[in-house]
Structure 1
């Protein structure tokens, strides 16, 4: 079930000498004891990632539409690439040219990444799907899965409940204990691997395990600088965050093998067993302890007060949608678009010695049009047609419709379906 069955094992990593910061804290008496109070506030908890596989079979029409979109994604001309999209129930999916080794087709938007099998694949599920964490926050797990079912039914027939391939559970918190206030030996775990991490010299957290269960304890506010999920700031403030102290996250990742062993393999049944999964990880698979040099049996070491706060989180079922505005499309903010334009404009002004921004913008526009119209590959469409084709392709990536492009793609897929039915009927 786990990486190592002996909880007394020390996880594999380079166990160097104690660092100066650890030594200084120990000398100052700042390392926790069993009597030290830990002011830990749980801000929110729930499901961060959910991967589901749906048993079923692809329909003839679903296969034809997917194949048409995939051919468009593989096309050389950008006017044809703009048709690499499928619109279903307010979702605009970008179709990929490939989908990895097992599946034939891949669709992706702000909410879902969907891989679907071809008609000749009998052993594979109809679809393997990832639900984005942003979408889970926005609509909740039950609504997200309901929408996913509706989308998949457009491509084939579903049979039975979906299997859970992976689920990540998390809790966001603030505490007066820094994440580097203990050494490696404080972790008592069944996992074989343990690593600490730093970002630009700043301690960022821990990762434990690499197999069917993995854990991460890290500085979430630091991670937001990369992920830019700024809606989390509002969610934390709604739960009493002061906006100043770092918010950290404890996260457990479960794969299908351990979910079967813990009798939690399918959705929606897994929603009733989230507490069991969390209990297993925080009590049996991993503990943060207060090392006792007098006791060589590490499994008897007392649990750190911070970890005790994690253990008593009252898990029930999947979290409800949260009261926050979440941006679901991938359209860049206006300030990003303006910055890109300003960068190109000022570069042109510097290169041409132009001091008037308006005159420089006009000159840049005219020279850009002349440049692209002179290129052989663009002569058929012309500059304006090529600009619209590229804009349509970018819109697919942003998850928003572009005037005319989505209708053109759907019409092409409709024609492919009609042609297949005519061929089948002999007309």
Structure 2
């Protein structure tokens, strides 16, 4: 078994502050534009670029994204009776590439540029997910090997009824224990998940770690040798605040490591002992020992060390590949509707290109707007 990655996968927090009136007016006008155009629009404010949605949600008037290499921002309409006017979510790509310290710095940089002022105690962390990716081609996940302490149900709401199991092709691919608002543990086939979701950049993150240690890269096409399992500890709002009194950055840095250590004791993945019918006495499985030991290090600057620029190229090429497949599929369908034979396709492709050129010349302003919208849509790549 080989460690490929360790670090935070999700971080969500609230800020006790309201956006300035000038920023509200700017975003409100841009949201009307997004509503008219029925799409996200690229907005700029004091050097900060965000994709603004045409709608709000969950009590927030504005939802804006900095792309996979930024954060997602939720802003309420300024209200003196509601001081907690901002919510921020950092996703897996940002945290894997940059780490927790960079997330804190990014939050401070963007809020300062947007004119948002707050103090050290005006932060409330509401969710934190920490993961370890382990190359384990021969590992087989068995739901019956999870052990929850007898007191866990009362203390942490982690009990047998909170266990969800998923699988395919006669094998278990994911087991989740606990609830998202409290303490949750999930072990799942990360290789299968990234193939299904198209997150190809994870192969580069993992392979860079292998190269750094002088090991052979994993081949995405070979399932038998590239099976990667993720062990993930998730801490929700109830666990962070009610049990651990974690709210601010200082409290988070000081106590989250101990929270993870406790999680690895409250919920365990074990190695069966045929001579002992009491599962509580079974020893930890090697994959569990590896994951828990990796969670005991310094959490502040944990990052993959991977250069984000090649990963942006991976994202870009992935989008290009998808669009090319769609263009080919649509053009072939158009050929079928027009009665074109297979041998006539090359000529039909050229004819179609000529038609598109002609339509572009007929509606230059419309096509120019479409080009600009597309450029804005992929600006973060």
TM-score if structure 1 supplies the norm length?
A: 0.71
- 1:156 Cα deviation (Å)? 3.9
- 1:323 is aligned, of 306, 326, 329, to 306
Higher relative contact order (CA 8 A, sep 6+): 1
Check if 1:98 corresponds to 2:67: no
Which one has the largest radius of gyration? 1
Q: For 1:241-297, what per-residue CA distance to the aligned partner results, in whole angstroms no more than 9, with x for missing partners? A: 6512411110011112211221332225423433212101101x2012345687676
| Contact 1:55/1:158, CA 8 A, preserved across alignment | no
Secondary structure of 1:58's counterpart equals: coil
Q: State which drifts further: 253-262 or 119-128.
A: 119-128
- 1:188 is aligned, of 148, 153, 156, to 148
CA distance in 2, matches of 1:83, 1:304: 47
Structure 2 residues not aligned, in runs of 5+: 153-157, 219-224
List aligned pairs for 1:130-279, cutoff 5 A. Answer: 130-161=89-120, 162-175=123-136, 178-180=139-141, 182-184=142-144, 186-189=146-149, 190=152, 191-192=158-159, 193-199=162-168, 201-211=170-180, 212-237=182-207, 238-239=209-210, 240=215, 242-243=217-218, 244-260=225-241, 261-279=243-261
CA distance in 2, matches of 1:395, 1:122: 40
- 1:168 Cα deviation (Å)? 0.4
CA distance in 2, matches of 1:328, 1:63: 34
- 1:400 Cα deviation (Å)? 4.8
Secondary structure of 1:312's counterpart equals: helix
CA distance in 1, matches of 2:51, 2:113: 16
CA distance in 2, matches of 1:121, 1:85: 29
| Contact 2:42/2:377, CA 8 A, preserved across alignment | no
- 1:360 is aligned, of 338, 348, 351, to 348
- 1:136 Cα deviation (Å)? 1.8
Secondary structure of 1:64's counterpart equals: helix
Instruction: Please provide the CA RMSD for this pair.
Output: 3.2
- 2:30 is aligned, of 63, 66, 69, to 69
CA distance in 1, matches of 2:280, 2:14: 37
Check if 1:303 corresponds to 2:273: no
| Contact 1:117/1:124, CA 8 A, preserved across alignment | no
| Contact 1:126/1:158, CA 8 A, preserved across alignment | no
| Contact 1:69/1:83, CA 8 A, preserved across alignment | no
Give the match for residue 420 of structure 1: none
Q: State which drifts further: 358-367 or 133-142.
A: 358-367
CA distance in 2, matches of 1:258, 1:328: 38
Q: For 1:185-225, what per-residue CA distance to the aligned partner results, in whole angstroms no more than 9, with x for missing partners? A: 64225313112211455431211112411111011111110
Structure 1 residues not aligned, in runs of 5+: 1-39, 374-381, 402-427
TM-score if structure 2 supplies the norm length?
A: 0.79
